[in-house]
Amino acid sequence: KRKVRQSTQSVLTVRVPKTCVGAVIGRGGEHIKQIQSDTNTKIQFDDQNGGSGDNGVQESRVLVIRGSPESTIKAETMINEIIRHQSLVTTKTFNVETTSVGAIIGRNGQTIRGLCDKSGAKIKVDPKSKKTNAIMTSVTIIGTDEQIQEAVLLINREITQNDKFLHNRHQNSAQKQIPNYKVLAIEGEAKDGSLDLDNYYAKLEPINEYQLVQVFVSSVKSPDQFYVQIAGLGAQELDHFMEESTDFYENDDNRISFKPLSVKVGDIVAVPYAG
């Protein structure tokens, strides 16, 4: 540092290594703004006087601090602490499966920005892998050992959650596929003269809004008006219902007890059928 003037207002200069400039400034200038607010000083880079370096290559920039003697010293201490902390910064590079890159980056980069904010590290994903369709993609993390360790933990957590999501989606997709159903035709007669009908029906499952319903198109009147019959599992349920209804209404007492007094459009009624 170099002390320039000391009176009611003090001016201090700090040489900031080029590799530490970004950390001192902070994202959107948040670090410098915070230091200025905490110390009641005014801080800015003085690029006119230039930094230090050889062969015209600037290795440092001059940071000027203005304020009271106590506040400038406090600001200088805070800036030097950032510089000291940055000297501990290292780089770690490792590979992840390219299929996991989307989970790390997130929509419009939201996830990776969140990972950087939470860990304090800088995370970079190699963009070349997507262009070359590589199986693995390199991820580079820049920060202190603690920041890198936290970033790796957060990245692994995102990958694990993504793998679980894909696994569950695959299972749900498999469940939505139409299975092979057992044929309802009964071949031959039971040896003991009786039949256990439950063994001839596939397991009946309720259909939710996300499942597919297999149908048979029996007639088409126009593109927006056609007639279908339930097929697959729905047909089995309908056949089972018809079997039970037939057995129930073959009983005279049941027909008398449940005889409708009136019917309207939309009602389901049982009527005799002669084939």
Whole-number Cα distances in Å, 87 to 30, 78, 118, 171, 202:
20, 15, 20, 49, 69
What's the pLDDT score for residue 268?
75
CATH class of this structure's domain 2-86: alpha beta
What number of CA atoms fall less than 13 Å from residue 14's CA on the CB side? 24
Provide the pLDDT confidence category of residue 252 given band limits of 50, 70 and 90: confident
What DSSP string runs through 1-26? -EEEEESSSEEEEEEEEGGGHHHHH-
What are the residue ranges of helices labelled H in 87-133? 101-105, 110-119, 128-132
What values do phi and psi take at 261, rounded to 5?
-80, -30
Q: Residue 264: its pLDDT value, please?
A: 86
Write phi, then psi, for 87 (nearest 5 degrees). Answer: -65, -15
pLDDT at 151 over 60: yes
Check residue 85 and give its pLDDT.
82
Confidence category of residue 37, pLDDT binned at 50, 70, 90:
very high
pLDDT digits (tens, 9 = 90+) for 38-72: 999 999 998 776 555 444 446 889 999 999 999 99
pLDDT at 195: 45
Percent of the chain with pLDDT over 90: 27
CA atoms of 40 and 91, how far apart (whole Å): 35
Q: Domain segments of the chain: what residues?
A: 2-86, 90-176, 178-189+196-275
Q: How confident is the model at residue 200 (pLDDT cuts 50, 70, 90)?
A: very low
The answer to whether the 2-86 and 90-176 domains have the same CATH topology is yes
Q: Are 125 and 101 in contact (CB under 8 A)?
A: yes
CATH fold, domain 90-176, is: Ribosomal Protein S8; Chain: A, domain 1 (3.30.1370)
Q: What is the widest separation between alpha-carbon atoms in the chain?
A: 115
- For residues 67 and 75, is the Cβ–Cβ distance under 8 A? yes
